[in-house]
Amino acid sequence: MSRPGLKDASQDHGAELLPDAFRENAQVSAEDEDQEDSTQPLWQRLAEQRVGTGGLQRAMGWIILALALALGGFQLYIGITFDMDARQQRLVHLLLVLTLIFLTVPAAKSAWGRSVPLLALDALLVLAAVAATVYPIVNAAELARRAGAYETTDWVLGIVLIVLLLEATRRTVGWFMSVLVLAFMFYAWAGPWFPGAFNHRGATIERLSAYVYLGNDGILGMTLGVVVTFVFIFVLFGALLQKTGGGNFFIGLAFVLTGRSPGGPAKGAVVGSAMMGSISGTALGNVATTGPFTIPMMKKVGYNKEEAAGVEAAASTGGQILPPIMGAGAFLIAERTGIPYAEIVLVSIIPALMYFGTVYLFVDIKARKRGMSSIPKDQLPVFKEVMKGGWHFLAPLVLLIVLLLQYVPPGRAGLYATAALFVVAMLRSMSRLSLRDIGEVFVIAARNTLPVSAACAIAGIIVGVVGLTGLGLVISDVLVSAFAGSLLLTLIMVALASLILGVGLPVTASYVVLIILAGPALQELGLAVIVTHLIVYWFSQDSNVTPPVALAAFVAAGIANSSPMRSAFHAWIFAKGLYFIPLMFAYSALLLTGTPWEVTVATVTGCVALVGAAVAIEGYLLRPAGVWQRIVLAVAALLALVAPEWTGWAESLFGVTVASDVFLWVGTLVILAFVVWQVLAQRISPVVVTPMEEREGAEPEEARRAAAEAAASPKPEPGTGSQPGAAASPQPEPGTHSATAGREDERGS
């Protein structure tokens, strides 16, 4: 699927909330990366990407708009009335989604994929989608009467829908998931050929097709139902917020808070992405909204373009774990476990803030390590002006939080918040929408929903195969037996499986696959249901930052004009909290599973452990850390993160029983002692890092300008020892040390 265009990400609404320097940087980025004609409506630009210019483009554009309005209108209708059967809701939603995919997403990136013959083939695929989705609606009573005794038409249309979903998923998500689904289907069919515990009697093509097509655990099951019931309305909320200029408000507020600190733009990206992500729930939309402003500013103060893209991707990924609007997987957790969404929100607040704190710490360390500057005060937004222009965007957010805490169903709460956002936006001229803007809101929402709906629909096939074959229980038994009941080894295996799945699966699909395969094993080892699901959900987030398919990093790389793979690698480094924090879920009361004192201890010691892990990775806090110090910090962080495991190891290896609290506090105190030593050492004998702008070659534009000025100036007399136009580097005070970039491993690995 083509990445979201930068033109519609850097909104016109609310632009006055940001200083000229921000808007100029975002405009330059848009001109460099996206040559689309922004005078055309979004639906016409999508049509141009699909069929080129001409009369066909205009017709296709209006068709895209009509389908987007139909999808949005249908979702609003069922959200208001609730008077349609759940299966029919999912079938209509799937029909509209498949039609939009085949008409807007070409079969290939080359010109051949956008040719008229391929468009004709896509029209045939649309007709096939109509047949496969309308048939169960028209024949609902007959199918219910003969449930289990399916006829030829039933399983043939099931195969048709499966093929359509495989192709739609290939276009929007990638080939990896389509191949994975085919592998699961092959396992269901070839069960008698598999050895040992994986052997089963097998399912015929007819049975398998009918089961995943018409069964309750297949394509039309809970996974797609969550998108229809909950996810779309929040995607629409995010699209409306983006179009009305709410993103600019949160970006401005973030830079007010962080702009004056070293490496301020990167910290602004972290805070701004947290604010925007908490109400958009989508990493890609978050990157597309905040990235055009934050990435150019990061590059300007000294981050290289891959790091700038990585920071934005890692920060935006956190939007799917930060309440009140988390990603689609959070709604799936509520549906699969029966736990109210409001309770999932409550237990997720502290871990999400810890994740953003970790990303913030990484970018702060890099800024201090390289002597990066802050944003000049005259280029920063003014708090009073930002709040004056955008305070009304806070009202729908407050309403949403209140409704969720009152246990109002998430779909209904999202509907009320969307309506409130529309009303407050239309009351002020700076955020008021025209008819074209309203049309683009629905097109943006529809476009952002396509990959999620396709992935969730086809993930239903995997759910169906697991239910049909009992594969989930088999893998659970294998994991528990293979690792002799070790929780830590099982967690590591789940994390590795998530890493592998993240190569080709989006977050929601990765979560679905992992939870049905590995979830039972974690619960068998004693973890609570909500702990198990949130561990898997957090691990699944790495699909946004794991190369070679890291969608959030790729969108950020497009804005930064950087290498996608290198950007994904840096995003993966910055997002290390995705691996460390779930360990705390398993070994502490961080998810509010204990007394207030236990939760407080888990929070404090967890934050300290994350500091130790970040310094061990980067080799720097306020001054460089030696190799032995980094090793000690890594061990101390492990002591604090998995303290109960150390108790078992001590008893097994030495026959000594040591309480887990001893290991917890030893690790925590070692890290705290290191931090205190760094603070005192920096005060007594400060390390001076040469500022980036004064270091030769640190800023390409400045270096070129200085070289040009030097060439135009008179040459110095021989032996003078200086050159006109060259900046003099400040000399450190007596008793201080000088540090330059490059001494430590900037990759942090």
At 527, the pLDDT band (50, 70, 90 cuts) reads: very high
Distance of CA 654 to the CA centre of its chain: 44
Q: What is the pLDDT of residues 613-663, one digit of tens each?
A: 999 998 998 888 889 999 999 999 999 999 998 888 888 888 888 888 999
Do 664 and 640 touch, CB atoms closer than 8 A?
yes
Q: What is the pLDDT of residues 89-135, one digit of tens each?
A: 999 999 999 999 999 988 887 777 778 888 899 999 999 999 999 99
At 712, the pLDDT band (50, 70, 90 cuts) reads: very low
Instruction: Give pLDDT, residue 695.
Output: 53
> How large is the average pLDDT for residues 558-587?
87
Do 717 and 346 touch, CB atoms closer than 8 A?
no
Phi and psi at 624, nearest 5°, equal -60, 145
Task: Provide the phi-psi class of 147: left if phi over 0, else alpha when psi is between -120 and 50, else beta.
Answer: beta
Q: What is the pLDDT of residues 43-65, one digit of tens each?
A: 888 888 888 777 788 888 999 99
Q: What is the pLDDT of residues 468-512, one digit of tens each?
A: 888 877 887 887 777 767 899 999 988 888 888 877 677 888 888
Higher pLDDT, 147 or 611: 611
Tokens of 532: 């198990």
What CA–CA distance (Å, rounded) separates 387 from 466?
51
At 136, the amino acid letter reads P
Question: What do you get for the CA distance between the two ends of the chain, in Å?
Answer: 32
Instruction: Give pLDDT, residue 566.
Output: 85
Do 91 and 133 touch, CB atoms closer than 8 A?
yes
**pLDDT-wise least confident of 31-40, 128-137, 580-589, 722-731:** 722-731
**Domain spans of the chain, in order of start:** 6-173, 611-694
Task: Indicate the pTM of the whole model.
Answer: 0.79
DSSP lists the bridge partners of residue 620 as 624
Do 542 and 567 touch, CB atoms closer than 8 A?
no
Q: Is the pLDDT of residue 560 over 90?
A: no
What CA–CA distance (Å, rounded) separates 621 from 625?
7
Classify residue 608 as exposed, middle or buried by CB count within 10 Å of its CB (0-12, 13-18, 19+).
Answer: buried
